[in-house]
Amino acid sequence: MNTTSAKTLRLGIIGLGNMGSAHARSILDGKVPRVQLAAVCDNVLDLSGYAKDAKIFTSSEELIRSGEVDAVLICTPHYFHTTIGIDALQNGLHVLTEKPISVHKADAQRLIDAHTNPKQVFAAMFNQRTDPHYIKVRNLIQSGELGEIRRINWIITNWFRTHAYYNSGGWRATWGGEGGGVLLNQCPHNLDLFQWLFGLPARVRATCSFGRYHDIEVEDDVTAVLEYDDGKTGVFITSTGEAPGTNRLEITAERGRVVIEDGAIRWQRNEMPMGEFSRTTAGSCSTPKKWTIEIAVSRSGEQHVGILKNFATAVLDGTPLIAPAEEGIRSVELGNAMLMSAFTGETISLPLDGAAFEALLKEKIANSRFKNKVATAPKAAGDFGSSFNVA
């Protein structure tokens, strides 16, 4: 494995599209201490503007084997997160990958299985884990302050995207290029937070609309019902076709209802847990007394820069990761289960059969009306092609 100095992490970014270039700019602007942008790689874009700051590569394999970097940040289209990630891990580099860590559970497991050296840091870009309101709610749940959770409702329809967005790259919104729609591109953040806060459900039933609002073959509208073995239920709704959109997470628990919306937390707290009140009150239509708590938190955490800083200190100082990549398989599995339920019209039990979903996805790719637009997409985790499109 490449060794780092105590002061600087030499980072290479693979894929300099929207996200990759934003990460590069954060580093070059000095927002990520102790990180040097040592190399960049893209086989589509002109990277000459980076020449004075970093080595330029057009092949991920060459960058990974160059000796110029200690770590890579992977910002390519989704399928390449697996192939390039495995290659980088097997060549001794630390790895930070954009979300999702892979398109489907089977590939996610292949990627995780390649992380065999505990000295290698392997992280995922789940930047919303840095938001203070989600951290606070997680602490309320884990401390037991909310009591037993009965119901979860999350509406995330503020991911509106135009036709121009989907037309911006041939890989977008195709089974072969992206592997899905809103669940694979926008909602990995929310799916990660969902499992981070509440754990994975036991069963999933979902309705997905494919190309409802756009000329695409993948899902742009999803409604899912989630069941947990402890009795709680959840509803997860998302879309890229609604404006103005909503981002409202509502948690109903023994100690009242918590709503997270517009970066704020509002807790209507029961004086007595609802179950206890129901068993002991003499009134037939009474409800527990409550008071409203407005929990003041900052509207946003450090987001992408925060994850980059954490990744660097994890490598240089051994700091615990905010988002270990191994945890990324859970959001992939949850999104896959929603799609599989929509494909089959059945309720899907978790753990998901990753091989069965992979087979369904390959069938979708084979029958895709856009398959000629994504010829550079790898067909298997072992296919280490040097070409990739921009993220």
CATH class of 131-295: alpha beta
Residues 165/186, Cβ–Cβ less than 8 Å:
no
Domain ranges of the chain: 9-128+303-322, 131-295
CB contact set of 119 (below 8 Å; sequence gap of 6+):
1
Tell me what pLDDT residue 47 has: 97
More confident: 351 or 4: 351
This prediction has a pTM of 0.93
Tell me what pLDDT residue 388 has: 38
DSSP code of residue 324: B
**How far apart (Å, rounded) are the C-alpha atoms in residues 12 and 93?**
10
Answer whether residue 58 shows pLDDT above 50: yes
Answer whether residue 143 shows pLDDT above 70: yes
Tell me what pLDDT residue 64 has: 98
More confident: 5 or 41: 41
Average pLDDT over the chain reads 93
Tell me what pLDDT residue 363 has: 96
CA 161 to chain centre: 18
What is the band of 380 on the pLDDT scale with cuts at 50, 70, 90? very low
Tell me what pLDDT residue 248 has: 98
Bridge pairing between strands 122-124 and 264-270 = unpaired
The dihedrals phi and psi of 41, each to the nearest 5 degrees, come to -145, 130
Q: Encode pLDDT of 223-253 as tens digits.
A: 999 999 999 999 999 999 999 999 999 999 9
Instruction: Name the fold adopted by 9-128+303-322.
Output: Rossmann fold (3.40.50)
Tell me what pLDDT residue 4 has: 54
Answer whether residue 183 shows pLDDT above 80: yes
Residues 76/304, Cβ–Cβ less than 8 Å:
no
Answer whether residue 2 shows pLDDT above 60: no
Q: Encode pLDDT of 157-178 as tens digits.
A: 999 999 999 988 777 899 999 9
Is there a cis peptide before residue 351, judged by omega within 30 degrees of 0?
A: yes
